[in-house]
Amino acid sequence: MAATAASLRLAITTGEPAGIGPDITLQALLAEMEAPGSAHHACTYTVIGDRTLLAERAALLGIAPAWQRALDSGRVAIAHVPLGVPCIPGQLDTQNGAYVLAVLDEAIDGCQHGRYHGMVTAPLQKSVIADTGIAFTGHTEYLAERTGTPHVVMMLAGPQPAHANAMLRVALATTHLPLRAVADAITTPLLVDALHIIAHDLRRRFGLPKPRILVTGLNPHAGEQGHLGREEIDVIIPALQQAAADGLDVRGPYPADTLFQPRYLQDADCVLAMYHDQGLAPLKYGTFGHGINVTLGLPLIRTSVDHGTALDLAGTGRAEYGSMRAALQAAVDMARCELSARDATA
């Protein structure tokens, strides 16, 4: 039997307590639950974080009654994880670094043990965790380590200007690396693996039967036939040839400065960019605040926002929550698609 939104259970992590994570979690969740005719309104949610923090933030935002109604409805629960120390909006405290990871670990464990069908993560402050002495570079890398996944792919998505009701999806071959390290990190096996991960998840979690993936070059003008660098000839083209031989619909390498145009994107399901700013600068130009972050290749569904902690906006009510709401909606859609795929092959 195909899965419905009513059968889905999502975990939501509240992120850095001094940032806007608690704010946008509350606001996006209430907006999604209260939207008339929402296709996602029957899902149940577990918000993971400090119970008192959530109550205090709801009061600051003037939504305490609505938050209490959500809790009373039975569709929202709190998995209480206590703060290390009390939190003041906008003021980071390294004593809460362990708390942020404990919240994230609770969501990961819940997904791995079947309590949740997916997780949505509010933004965290990497420096707070790193300053506690824990090596931490981001959600994506931490999720890969905790789930024992050797290779994951970061993908961001947002409304595509090429045509209405479509998404521009941009995946990254490399993520949080210094620019000088990117060329050495890109190898043919890495790209082939990334293309397979992207294609697999677009089929299974996005319902795209044969996704078309466009691939950027690394160098200006995609290397200009080797005159501006040989990575396209020596690394990227062999990867595309191997992926095509494996049955994937892959095209490229294309110059990144011209690829992000409607006439090229209108038939594309995803773009694979070689490094962080190459892919995310054009995407965020048109979709910032409404886009989502998805980690591909994990044994669980994880979506997130396309922005950071915005410490100066915490507790003010001025933070935009559109990206968090889009991440909630995407997680429901992905979970429903994956469960339907499982039913079809059972």
Residue 183, beta-bridge partner list:
none
Whether 161 has a pLDDT exceeding 70, the answer reads no
pLDDT at position 7 is: 81
* Residue pLDDT, tens place only, 175-198: 989 999 999 999 999 999 999 999
Least confidently predicted of 46-60, 162-176, 205-219 = 162-176
Q: Tell me the backbone φ, ψ of residue 254, rounded to 5 degrees.
A: -110, 145
pLDDT at position 162 is: 56
pLDDT at position 41 is: 59
pLDDT at position 319 is: 97
Q: What's the mean per-residue pLDDT of the chain?
A: 93
> With bands split at pLDDT 50, 70 and 90, how would you rate the model's confidence at 333?
very high
Q: Tell me the backbone φ, ψ of residue 55, rounded to 5 degrees.
A: -65, -40
Cα separation, 67 vs 57, whole angstroms? 10
pLDDT at position 39 is: 56
- Nearest Cα to Cα of residue 332 among 200, 206, 208, 159: 206
Instruction: Indicate the helix (H) or strand (E) that contains 293.
Output: strand 292-296
Other beta carbons within 10 angstroms of residue 34's beta carbon come to 12
User: Which CATH code, of 3.90.1150.10, 3.40.718.10, 3.30.70.260, 3.40.50.720, is assigned to 152-294?
Assistant: 3.40.718.10
Query: 1-149+298-346, what's its fold?
Result: Isopropylmalate Dehydrogenase (3.40.718)
Least confidently predicted of 1-5, 305-309, 334-338 = 1-5
What are the structural domain ranges in the chain?
1-149+298-346, 152-294
